[in-house]
Chain A
Amino acid sequence: MRLFGLLAAIFAVLGASAAASDVVVTDHARSRLVPKTHGVAPGGTLNLAFAQELQDGWHVYWKNQGDSGLPLEFVWSLPVGAVSGGIDYPTPERIAIGPLVNFGHAGAPVFLTSIAAPKDAAVGSTLDIGLKATWLICADICVPETGAFSLKVPVVAAPEANAAEAALFERARAALPTPLPGEAYYSVNGSMLSLDAAAPGAAAAGYFFPATEGISEPAADQKFRKRAGRIHLSVRGGPALASLSGALDGVLVLETGGVEKGYAVTATRKDEKVGSAPGGSLGGLLLAAFFGGALLNLMPCVFPILFIKAATMANVAAGDKSAMRRHGLLYALGVISTFAALGGLLLALRAGGAELGWGFHLQSPAVVALSAYVLFAVGLNLAGAFSIGSSVQNLGSDYLKGKSGDPAAFLTGVLAVVVAAPCVGPFLTAPIGAAALLPPALGLSIFIAMAAGLAAPYAALSFFPGARRLLPKPGAWMERFRQALSFPVFAAAAFFLWVLSEQTGGRGLALGLGGLLLVGLAARLWAWGGSRRWGAIAAVLALATALVPVALVRPAAAAADAAGVIGFDPADIARRRAAGEAVFIDFTAAWCVTCQVNKLTVLSAPKVKAAFAKAGVARVVADWTNRDPVIEQALSEFGANGVPLYVYYPPGGEAVILPQPLTEKSVLTLFAEDSKGTAP
């Protein structure tokens, strides 16, 4: 305290001579008011710095003080016609007080402000500027302090810089947050605030300070991740989040190479500017959805069905063109309405609070069993065990000629969606994830774009007879090819049976196989009965009996964890991360083909396994085969809506989302970076 007094005396002398206010010494701070220039021009702006030096261990507050505290308060006494400006705060820091977190400043913060001089101020006169500043300064206890500052500012034609204080202003400027380049968006999802901003440089961690109180929960962790050059932060909301509307102001502090830097952010609400949903513009998402849907046509589960349909069209090139167009449209309608119904159901359930993602229907063992039935029946049909609506030899030509083919065309569309669902690949996860976050009408439009993509190739063929010439000439080979294609379909059915066994254990598998037997019997009965009534009745009876096992399948308890792999538990992950452990989370599901491919080709590769073991990474598997609200919550916090998703937490670092498709190299690079990071 004696030192303070001595310094104060020195500064008082200096202050009087160096165009700054006297230093006000309070119990825990030394404060002064410094002009940037010697004097001010009439009508000009006088920039001022309110510079403080705080006692060690003490802090003052940012404009949003966080859990407790009070920001700086200025009361000016100014000459008539002079107007005071606002306060520019330095970049804040988080200050933890037990379980609470305050936003503030320690050390020597400088607050910038300004005074606009009256236009009619006479050159040669002096402006008397008085300031009463009040600040709350806290260590673990709080003390309100106050100080009166006065400046005599000469009115001059051309003010000169206050060279003695240039370093102070330079330091103040460096501490100010700089405007974040690029646009930023936010969205509110229940109690969570998501911030989406352009990433300046290679930021590795970040924290968002909202400019107003109550928007965020200051002590809650913020989930930081980077994707495609953008930063995503999940922030737990405070009591004022629900009433947030319009732009969101704040400071985003990003850490790059151990250096923190503040960026001023003004984020636009995402649902007001849908053009910038995560992953690009709405138009881009729709386009991605369309092409993703079109690519689904090539998936092993969809291709056989559609190829045969397309090829048969060439068969009837001379046939009824209007009927063909009608079938093309009906097929498209079947695809789109099924997709829209499934998407609408998903969005409605999410709106109702259910945490669901794409593929959620496959979490029901009954749906999985039914999918296996459908694929098995399709396979039998392709193999020629039975036929519907036409003779095997004359496939397509009959029904394409008459209206009798209409329902079949529509149902083929439905079927295409049913079999495509488990094949939804990495190229569709972004649009589907966005669909779930966008307002329902827009979300639905993404599903419809996807459906349109899936339907497009076939529908186009039905409209442009010329394009059909590109298809190979029909002939006897087609029958062989058709029979050959039954095998990928049987393989898909076998995959569903495996999913069923994962979901329900051996008993469910036995029930499913029993069901398939009945489906096979129904097909045989249909083939024997032909168009006769008894055949149809017997087949329907067999099919109905096949539903009994479907009703009996039940999800089994989660299987015991495989060796070396840890089940998903957010608390456990938090503990491991706190202990400095690296954590790799594999969000997967048995019914997700992409996940299984990644597991077989990348995650189970000996090199990758060895790298995991060597780096001492905790491998967590979040198995979403059956419904799990905790996993759904975690997926949504990462902005994902379905699986696969691979997240890596380096020791002591923030989440990294692995790019898709997953490669051995991308996984191995993670640990390479780690070893670099930990090297002395």
Chain B
Amino acid sequence: MRRLAILAGLSLAATSALAGPAIDAPAPAFSGKTSSGAVVSLDQFKGKTVVLEWTNDGCPFVQKHYETGNMQKTQKAANAAGVVWITVISSAPGKQGHADAARANLLTQQRGAEPDFVLLDEEGDVGRAYGAKTTPQMALIDKGGVLRYQGAIDDKPSANHASVSGATNYLIAALQSVEAGEPVAVKETKPYGCSVKYKS
């Protein structure tokens, strides 16, 4: 009974502050429905590097990265390295950025995006598990299922399109280190952007 109480206390504490998972530790497991109708889970990608990208097409910060082609460029670089790219939509129904399968696929097509999967996380479970606070927000999981990077896509917290040029892309840097089997230099940054529109 006491053990149960401890667990209850801990889980309460974890959800109330939406803290991110520990870096360099096994990434939180998840599974969920994607826009193609398939259900994916993190376990099935053991042996592959996985990128998670939180998005909300109505958010000006996300728009900055898609309208300048920066996100697509990052996706291409990841694809070339054989990475599994999962775009996560944690917006709840009725909130900004929410998408059903059809809208999610349309967005991918319109934006010229190249994710392997678009995860429809309308309950926000995956977002909460990863402590996703903003869109965009990135997470990088290595082949062994260990979380190696979480935070912002780059070092320019701005919605201004011009800020993309000259920015340091943290995700690409982390990806290169992971592919080279080296430790990631910048493992955690403060994500910037719009708040994730969770179900309240």
Q: Is the CB of B15 within 8 A of A99?
A: yes
Residues in A with CB closer than 8 Å to B109 are none
Out of B17, B60, B195, name the residue touching A98 (CB < 8 Å): B195
Q: Is the CB of B158 within 8 A of A100?
A: no
Query: How far, in whole Å, are A67 and B200 apart by their CA atoms in the complex?
Result: 16
Interface code B111-147, partner A: CB below 8 Å = 1, 0 otherwise? 0000000000000000010000110000000000000
Residues in A with CB closer than 8 Å to B96 are 140-141
Out of B2, B59, B193, B195, name the residue touching A97 (CB < 8 Å): B195
Which of A34-42, A215-223, A382-390, A407-415 interfaces with chain B?
A215-223
Chain B residue at smallest Cβ distance from A136? B159
Which of B5-13, B35-43, B69-77, B167-175 interfaces with chain A?
B5-13
Q: Is the CB of A240 within 8 A of B16?
A: no
Contacts A141-B96, A569-B8 known; A628 to B18 CB distance under 8 Å?
Answer: no
Interface code B2-37, partner A: CB below 8 Å = 1, 0 otherwise? 100110110011011111100000000000000000
A592 vs chain B, min Cβ distance (A): 20
B160 vs chain A, min Cβ distance (A): 7
Chain B interface residue bracket vs A: 35 or more
Q: Could you say which of A99, A100, A136, A217 has the most chain B C-beta atoms within 10 Å of its C-beta?
A: A99
Q: Is A617 an interface residue (CB 8 A)?
A: no
B122 vs chain A, min Cβ distance (A): 13
Residues in B with CB closer than 8 Å to A134 are 158, 160
Q: Is the CB of A68 within 8 A of B133?
A: yes
Q: Is the CB of B60 within 8 A of A142?
A: yes
Chain B residue at smallest Cβ distance from A216? B17
Out of B5, B192, B199, name the residue touching A572 (CB < 8 Å): B5
Out of B6, B12, B59, B190, name the residue touching A630 (CB < 8 Å): B6
Chain A residue at smallest Cβ distance from B5? A569
Residues in B with CB closer than 8 Å to A69 are 195
A485-530 residues at the B interface, CB under 8 angstroms: none
Q: Is the CB of A239 within 8 A of B20?
A: yes
A135 vs chain B, min Cβ distance (A): 10
Q: Is B58 an interface residue (CB 8 A)?
A: yes
B28 vs chain A, min Cβ distance (A): 16
A566 vs chain B, min Cβ distance (A): 11
Out of B8, B18, B95, B199, name the residue touching A67 (CB < 8 Å): B18
B55 vs chain A, min Cβ distance (A): 14
A587 vs chain B, min Cβ distance (A): 16
Q: Could you say which of A134, A239, A570 has the most chain B C-beta atoms within 10 Å of its C-beta?
A: A239
Q: Is A565 an interface residue (CB 8 A)?
A: no
Out of A141, A213, A214, name the residue touching B194 (CB < 8 Å): A141
Residues in B with CB closer than 8 Å to A238 are 19
Residues in B with CB closer than 8 Å to A97 are 195
Q: Is the CB of B2 within 8 A of A68?
A: no
Q: Is the CB of B95 within 8 A of A70?
A: no
Contacts A67-B133, A70-B158 known; A630 to B20 CB distance under 8 Å?
Answer: no
Binding site secondary structure of chain A = loop
Chain B residue at smallest Cβ distance from A146? B160
A599-628 residues at the B interface, CB under 8 angstroms: 628
Interface code A82-105, partner B: CB below 8 Å = 1, 0 otherwise? 000000000000000111101000
Q: Is the CB of A143 within 8 A of B60?
A: yes
Query: How far, in whole Å, are A558 and B58 apart by their CA atoms in the complex?
Result: 54
Query: How far, in whole Å, are A136 and B5 apart by their CA atoms in the complex?
Result: 42
Residues in A with CB closer than 8 Å to B134 are 67-68
Interface code B154-171, partner A: CB below 8 Å = 1, 0 otherwise? 000111100000000000
Interface code A562-586, partner B: CB below 8 Å = 1, 0 otherwise? 0000011111101000000000000
Interface code A58-88, partner B: CB below 8 Å = 1, 0 otherwise? 0000000001111001000000000000000
Q: Is the CB of A68 within 8 A of B194?
A: yes
Q: Is A179 an interface residue (CB 8 A)?
A: no
A437 vs chain B, min Cβ distance (A): 21
Q: Is the CB of B95 within 8 A of A140?
A: yes
A298-320 residues at the B interface, CB under 8 angstroms: none
Interface, chain B (partner A; CB < 8 A)? 2, 5-6, 8-9, 12-13, 15-20, 58-61, 95-96, 128, 133-134, 157-160, 188, 190-200
24 A–B contacts from the bound complex (CB under 8 Å): A68-B134, A68-B191, A68-B194, A68-B196, A70-B157, A98-B195, A100-B198, A136-B60, A140-B197, A141-B96, A141-B194, A142-B60, A142-B193, A142-B194, A143-B60, A144-B159, A213-B190, A217-B17, A218-B17, A219-B17, A239-B190, A567-B2, A571-B8, A630-B2
Apart from A68-B196, A569-B5, what 8 extra A-B contacts exist at CB < 8 Å?
A99-B18, A140-B195, A140-B197, A141-B58, A217-B17, A570-B5, A570-B12, A628-B2
